[in-house]
Structure 1
Amino acid sequence: MPTLPREQPGPSPAQPHEVRRMAESFGVDAQRYDQARPGYPDALVTRIVAASPGPDVLDVGCGTGIAARQFQAAGCTVLGIEPDARMADVARGRGLRVEVAAFEAWQPADRAFDAVVAAQSWHWVQPVAGVVKAARVLRPGGRLAIFGHVYEPPAEVAEPFAAAYRKVAPDSPFTGQPARRPIDFYQSGYAKFADAIRETGQFDAPEQWRYDWEHPYTRDQWLDLLPTTGGLTRLRPDQLARILDAVGAAIDALGGSFTMNYTTLATTAARADTN
């Protein structure tokens, strides 16, 4: 499927953090988003918690709280920051404390945290300003962890999606993107996150983590998730229906299901102790 400007870092016609309408389009169907989107590898959550000096976590762009709930289950106290009130409402309904604001404008007062995490969301934050603000609210030794999924469906699913998208949205700047992209493309995006961290001079050397895993999808499960991805959230109902019909037919041809190969990438660094 074309890599639209949603979860995954990389070049786009405008920097993602400048495209707020896209960033705030995921709340169109926040309940579907919460139900359809996958969680994160438990090993990643455990590693972040173990590498942090305490249990207080700030989740930037928490959405409906998918990652936040995993950190809560790991024993953390989590505060979410989310610019979309619709997403925040769902997160609150699932037991998460959320303040509605863009991270750059959010007022932390005198609060401090042991970890600042961003799951599928950091590319919506102004890169260097976001790192500086994370350093401001982290305790010495506190950890910034930026992570997200890379998921490219099999070519048998990705190519019909790309063809249908080009037909229904020919003027979209994203229609010229390839149906699938190599992992190196996404790793370069996380390397840019690391560059921004280094630029501030407020963190120890950043690390790159990687987790590979699989998840099976039935036809209905994938067609439930697909409308929650960027670029599709703003299509008209008739446009979306045509894409879903094409993708559904492709999955039917595979026997009604397929296995997604996921990679979860993370860029992470500890706040330097400047005392």
Structure 2
Amino acid sequence: MCYENVDKDPDLRKSSDLGPVNGSRSWWVLAAAGFAIGIVLAVGGGLFGFKLFGWITGSSYNDDQTASAGAWASAVGATALALASVWLAVQANGQARDAERRAAEEAALTAQRHQEEMEAAAERHARELAQADERLNRQIKAERYREQAQVIRDLWATVNAAILPTLTLAQVIDEHRALHHNISSDRLVIAPSVSKVSKAYTNWKLHFFEVQAAIEVVEMLVEDETIRSYLSSLSHRVQRHMEDAEGYKESAISHGGGAGVSMFPATISEFIALRKPMMSEIRRLLTAEGAQQMS
């Protein structure tokens, strides 16, 4: 929005900038001027009539009388002119003061409008900045949730990849146990089987090291308390699972033990059961954040 004559010098303003002159004041000025002119004409006419009357009637006036009449007429005319001049000066001063007052009022209104516009612009700018910050925060939060969803998917992909090595380890330990008890416990005879158990355990452990590393990545990125509680439970179950596996392996190698190892893979189902609620929570967060961005 712009306003005309905002920066004009009051002394250089056009008449249109100062508004219309007071009509009643102009009328009085004209009346005063007419009155003064009328007095002058009346005095002049009286003097002329005085002379004309003397000429027609043949009456003569001496110089003193004529001078007195002229002085009287001049005094009356001068007084009328002086009064008219004073009146005109008063009216002119009044008009000048009115013009100055209107100019000052206009300048004050212009300054007030400018201040209000500046304040409104500042408020609008602050509001737009706040809205932009809010949108940015939502975008950052949504991106963070998507990143969390990805690392959680990676975690469960790593867990799934560890299922086959777990089944293999349980099978190898069970076969070694059968060899030890049913065929021979001689170290030379069972040495190949012991080596097979060790290799299966090493392969299994490498996979579960990857599972633990994936859990640590999720712990670093996820802030949601619900997911972190599931993650803590998963970490404890994985740790217990690894301790059980090491116990089965040591028992099998040392004395052909490892009874019940066939049930060992079933323990994976305890922490795989956490996958569904964990993924449901991250989907809920993504859905809620998406709804906020659209609102």
* Structure that is richer in helix per residue: 2
If asked which structure has higher relative contact order (CA below 8 Å, sep 6+), I would say: 1
TM-score, normalised with respect to structure 2? 0.21
* Structure that is richer in strand per residue: 1
Q: Which has the larger radius of gyration?
A: 2
TM-score, normalised with respect to structure 1? 0.22
